[in-house]
A and B are shown apart, each in its own frame.
Chain A
Amino acid sequence: MVALQGTRPFVSGYRPEFGYGPLQSSKLVFARFSVGNNAVKNLGLCRGGDVRLRSSRIIIRQWRSLRRFDQGLLGKDLQMMLGNEKSTNIVWHKSSVDKIDRQELLQQKGCVIWITGLSGSGKSTLACALSRCLHSRGKLTYILDGDNVRHGLNRDLGFKAEDRAENIRRIGEVAKLFADAGVICIASLISPYRKDRDGCRALLPDGDFIEVFMDMPLQVCEARDPKGLYKFARAGKIKGFTGIDDPYEPPLNCEIVLKQKGDNCASPCNMAETVIRYLEEKGYLRA
């Protein structure tokens, strides 16, 4: 397929689906070329333009005029639908050409996997396992771990309610940037309040916010106590610790729930595979 970018008022874009006949209301143009430069020149499609070949794709820039072609004139390799020469400001695709270029380059779609749950529920462990599994499939991921981000961007924030909210807001905004860059961004933080998580969801296009709930009972998390924090909290040395004296509001409508089955907890790799299957089904592991 061809990505076309014109000078104003043409708007750049890309249509993956392809049909026959002129489009009714939108004045969009897209074309499929089977071979390179010569086909373009023979058609006289591009005038005064700057044509670059990249593998089997042609990017045509700054084309100044279009001529209407019937299907029959073009030969069977070529199908085009052309619009009016006075096409104005139509959005072809909800993503910009840049975002699509990045998706094409990475062979994946950016998204945010938001892992939420109590301290010790296994969020960071899952995030690492997921990152490793996706990396072995050639996918680019990046982990935004709540604790790690508090070493840098969010070092000015504490743990009172408004700071937690701001922590989550900033991570949500950064995750959005990563997703826009085409990265599969894995955010792992307790994020105990529903309102804050929903706020992050609202920042992203539909479907790109994938909420994963680590549904582990408090006792299991406390028994693990990987950082010794439950012990401190029970001893009253930490106040407002989630699960002990601050609430955790579980998601009502998340995309994936990972829970304990009976006495056993699935391994991080198995949990990661569950998430990867979801990504595969929804098309995030291809451009």
Chain B
Amino acid sequence: MNAVGIKPLPGFATLRDGYLPGNAKARSVLRITAADGLQQAVRVDVNGNGKAKLDTLKPNGSPLGSILANGFTSNGKNQSPLSRIGNSTNIKWHECSIDKIDRQNLLNQKGCVIWITGLSGSGKSTVACHLSKILTQMGKLTYILDGDNLRHGLNSDLSFKAEDRAENIRRVGEVAKLFSDAGVICIACLISPYRRDREACRKILPNGDFIEVFMDVPLGVCESRDPKGLYKLARAGKIKGFTGIDDPYEPPVNCEITLKCDNGIYASPSAMAEKVICYLEYNGYLQA
């Protein structure tokens, strides 16, 4: 039933504007399977002119009282009329009939987050650009969230101390989630050195939609590139807490894709991008 943002079972017609298929019975209870396998009971009250009113039901059959939000099928969206989330009191989740699935159908792709992590100079932004260009040529909508760029805008109030790095990554993760919900293939590229922060971002996205890509390039290679001259400054002690020099980088333990240098000859950025695209294709992100 689209009004609650979940797909009807095969055999059920789409419910739009409150009209049911002709053979629907008044006060019938339908069990609907949501897109990610969650099941939800919905009571349909059909009045004289065939319009239906939907009531989502708790497992014991009593009404839930509010319609579930779209776009997010799990992660404990608060279902009471008004809720308190974090420091925000008296807020209510507003549902809308256009959901993620509608947008994905429009774009002919599935929204996801490609999270590219690695040392400074490992080639994150380069691969991101190549990936974006190739996907655009394939007719897919992508958007790059580059850590540096965001620190000029959204995250301009944050520094590089540990808690600010964590907040930087949290915010990028939340924004990436919004883009993914919009149906965009969002490419986030930032050092994101701490495993815990990356895992926190993974948790806020639906299963599978967080695709971690590790740029496995040795420190020596990154330092010899030194595209922004930062390693030189760090070695001279002019930057403190620089990842790889005097701050740790925690490589992923279980990422989806690793892009590495092989025997000193590393694949070109385009070849690396192609590897990511194969993953996307194989996992169905390049179609609705």
Interface residues of A, Cβ cutoff 8 Å to B: 52, 54, 59, 98, 101-102, 105-106, 124, 127-128, 131-132, 135, 138, 140-145, 147-148, 150-159, 163, 170, 173-174, 176-178, 180-183, 203, 227-229, 232, 238
Within the complex, the shortest CB–CB distance from B4 to chain A, in Å, comes to 14
- B203 on interface, CB distance cutoff 8 Å: no
Query: Which residues of chain B from 78 to 105 have any CB-CB distance to chain A below 8 Å in the complex?
Result: 78, 81-82, 85-94, 96-98, 102-103
Closest to B156 in A: A173
- Tell me the bound Cα distance from A270 to B174 in angstroms: 33
Contacts of A152 in B (CB 8 A): 174, 177-178, 204
B153 touches A155 (CB 8 A): no
- B182 on interface, CB distance cutoff 8 Å: yes
Contacts of A229 in B (CB 8 A): 90
- Tell me the bound Cα distance from A180 to B132 in angstroms: 14
B178 touches A144 (CB 8 A): yes
Of B136, B154, B177, B204, the contact of A173 (CB 8 Å cutoff): B154
Also in contact, A177 and B145, with CB within 8 A (given A132-B97, A135-B98, A138-B106): yes
- Tell me the bound Cα distance from A59 to B134 in angstroms: 13
B141 touches A157 (CB 8 A): no
Within the complex, the shortest CB–CB distance from B42 to chain A, in Å, comes to 20
A174 touches B88 (CB 8 A): no
Within the complex, the shortest CB–CB distance from A92 to chain B, in Å, comes to 18
A159 touches B89 (CB 8 A): yes
- B60 on interface, CB distance cutoff 8 Å: no
- B210 on interface, CB distance cutoff 8 Å: no
Closest to A185 in B: B182
- Tell me the bound Cα distance from A163 to B91 in angstroms: 15
Closest to B172 in A: A153
Of B89, B91, B137, the contact of A54 (CB 8 Å cutoff): B137
- Tell me the bound Cα distance from A144 to B96 in angstroms: 11
- Tell me the bound Cα distance from A9 to B283 in angstroms: 39
Closest to B145 in A: A177
Contacts of B141 in A (CB 8 A): 102, 105-106, 140, 181-182
Of B86, B91, B96, the contact of A147 (CB 8 Å cutoff): B91
Contacts of A228 in B (CB 8 A): 81-82
A177 touches B97 (CB 8 A): no
B87 touches A141 (CB 8 A): no
- B175 on interface, CB distance cutoff 8 Å: yes
- Tell me the bound Cα distance from A64 to B55 in angstroms: 65
> Beyond A152-B178, A181-B179, A238-B90: 16 further Cβ-contacts under 8 Å?
A101-B136, A128-B98, A131-B98, A132-B97, A140-B103, A150-B86, A151-B93, A152-B174, A157-B88, A158-B87, A158-B88, A159-B88, A177-B175, A181-B141, A229-B90, A238-B89
Contacts of B184 in A (CB 8 A): 181, 183
A148 touches B106 (CB 8 A): no
- B139 on interface, CB distance cutoff 8 Å: yes
Contacts of A177 in B (CB 8 A): 143, 145, 153-154, 175, 179
Query: Which residues of chain B from 176 to 194 have any CB-CB distance to chain A below 8 Å in the complex?
Result: 177-179, 181-184
- Tell me the bound Cα distance from A128 to B99 in angstroms: 10
Contacts of B97 in A (CB 8 A): 128, 132
Within the complex, the shortest CB–CB distance from A90 to chain B, in Å, comes to 21
Contacts of B132 in A (CB 8 A): 98
Closest to B204 in A: A152
Within the complex, the shortest CB–CB distance from A78 to chain B, in Å, comes to 24
B153 touches A128 (CB 8 A): no
- B107 on interface, CB distance cutoff 8 Å: yes
A174 touches B154 (CB 8 A): yes
- B165 on interface, CB distance cutoff 8 Å: no
- B171 on interface, CB distance cutoff 8 Å: yes
16 inter-chain pairs at a CB distance below 8 angstroms, sorted by A residue, are A98-B132, A105-B136, A132-B96, A135-B102, A140-B141, A141-B98, A148-B93, A151-B78, A151-B85, A152-B177, A153-B178, A158-B89, A159-B89, A176-B153, A177-B145, A183-B182
A181 touches B91 (CB 8 A): no
Also in contact, A227 and B92, with CB within 8 A (given A152-B178, A173-B154): yes
B183 touches A140 (CB 8 A): yes
Closest to A237 in B: B90
- Tell me the bound Cα distance from A78 to B219 in angstroms: 51
Contacts of B204 in A (CB 8 A): 152
Of A52, A54, A174, the contact of B175 (CB 8 Å cutoff): A174
- Tell me the bound Cα distance from A147 to B94 in angstroms: 8
A151 touches B91 (CB 8 A): yes
Could you give, for residues 115-141 of chain B, a 1 whenever the CB lies within 8 Å of some chain A CB and a 0 otherwise? 000000000000000001100110101
B174 touches A153 (CB 8 A): yes
Contacts of B153 in A (CB 8 A): 173, 176-177, 203
B88 touches A150 (CB 8 A): yes
- Tell me the bound Cα distance from A59 to B133 in angstroms: 12
Q: Count chain B CB atoms within 10 A of each CB in A52, A128, A152, A228 and give the residue with the most.
A: A152
- Tell me the bound Cα distance from A238 to B77 in angstroms: 24
